[in-house]
Amino acid sequence: MFKLLIWIVWLTVLLALCVIQSPRRLLTPQFVFIGCFIPQAIFATLFVDEWDLDFCNGTMICLFGGTALFFVLSVILEGLFSKIHISSARTAKRTAPRKIDDRIKIERWKLILYLVLQVGILFFVIKYFIENIPGNNILAKIANYDNLSKRGTDKEKLLVELPDLIDLPRIFCGYSCYYMGYLLVHSIVMKYQQHRVLLLLNVVTSLLFIGVLGGRIGIMAFIVTTVAEAYILWGKKNSWKKRLRFKSILKIIILGLVVVFTFQLSLILFGRKSDDSFVEHLGVYLSAPLKNSDIFISKGKFGVSNMHYITMCTLLVFLGKRFNIKAFQYRPNLPYNVVHGHQLGNAYAIFYFFMRDGGYVALVGFVTLMVLISQVVYQRVICNRSPHPNDISIIAYSYMVYTLSLSFFGCLFYSSFLDISFLEIMFACWVLKVFFTKVHFRGRGKAAMRQTVTFEDAMTT
């Protein structure tokens, strides 16, 4: 218990330093990364006796050293970026700030067309589920699909695999929630009416594509990303001169509590069941990764000998299948843990992945790479003075915030942000951006005029 309390105090001090360093731009990579461990540590105090939660020395080194390294490197890199004038906060202060435009203009018929398209694709997805996935009802089918696609054998995964003709449009529509959500949030933050009902219907329909597959994490990713987008747009709107009001902070906390309290209930909505109490269920997802990581680190066996790395496994497995690299064709194995009869699952804090792949050297290397990438994206997006409202790099940084915010639960920064799935998300956002805001048809007799754009224009203008 003493070590856990020291860990909570340490995190609180580091988070306070993050606020002091950037009092108005709170959504820095170091603030998100360090802050995500605080709820985990506080909630873990409820399970100290049940789980024998007492960190070994190696775990203390990982936790304290990893967070300290992330904070120190972030401060150093931010200082270096400011000196070489790469869109840093200090550079922005030397020049007159420019507010972003007030609105994104979208034609109503395009939103209706895309909504109809989504509903049509959703119909075929559900139809395929009913006809091909085992189960007595739609909820049972969703549960079976989720279980077999994640934990089944290769033969079972092949059995529930959707055909490309259905799966590819499904993936695109599911990922489109990020851009549709951005458009909706932008109209709310900038306080203008822009077909909000149609935007909301498109967002809900896009999220149904994620829900049909039984994915709570995907919906949580959308929520965190959208909240981050709202904060960034609000900050850019007032040129980062204002601080969040207590009322706004309270709303965010309430939203977070609602998400937490509906987390177990969502199992039923996605066709799954849980016999655990609310506290136990939340503890497995929120605090058990801390204990699971300590169990592994206490054994002192680090590194892999068969190239079955887990830090960037999703990217490596993709490359293995794409280029037929047999060394990368493997299924990552995260062992389940049980302590005194309590099921702790197989979720681990991000430091576990680094230590398993290469020990303390990998810990330093991967943390350093995380800081470098996150700071480059941060400087490009948050400190960028571009006045254009339709810059989808805001979505990119907001999604990165989501992956950093779940560092207590897994290695999503490397498995989701530095992964092909992130490129798919950005591709979907880019296509929709071009269609909704860059392509215009105006009837002129029998002819029509179409505005053409380059990829670079669509990304940055």
Q: What is the DSSP string of 204-246?
A: HHHHHHHHTTT-HHHHHHHHHHHHHHHHHHHHHHTTT-S---H
Helical H segments across 238-349, by residue range: 246-261, 265-269, 278-286, 288-299, 313-323
Buried b (16+ CB within 10 A) or exposed e, 254-282: eeeeebeeebbeebeebbbeeeeeeebeb
Residues 291 and 48: their CA atoms lie apart, in Å, by 10
Phi and psi, residue 444, nearest 5°: -130, 85
Tell how strand 342-345 and strand 337-339 pair up: antiparallel
| Residue-level pLDDT at 413 | 93
**Cα separation, 325 vs 451, whole angstroms:** 43
Tens of pLDDT, residue by residue, the chain (461 residues): 889 999 999 999 999 999 998 888 889 999 999 999 999 999 999 999 899 988 999 999 999 999 999 999 999 998 888 777 544 444 444 444 445 557 888 999 999 999 999 999 999 988 888 888 777 777 777 777 777 776 666 676 766 778 888 889 999 999 999 999 999 999 999 888 889 999 999 999 999 888 776 567 888 899 999 999 999 998 888 888 887 777 777 777 777 777 766 665 666 555 556 666 778 878 888 899 999 999 999 998 898 877 788 888 888 888 888 888 887 878 788 899 999 888 898 999 999 999 999 999 999 999 999 999 999 999 888 766 554 566 788 999 999 999 999 999 999 999 888 888 899 999 999 999 999 988 877 654 444 434 444 434 444 44
Three-state secondary-structure class, residue 441: coil
Nearest CA among 1, 12, 33 for reference residue 405: 33
| pLDDT number for residue 279 | 81
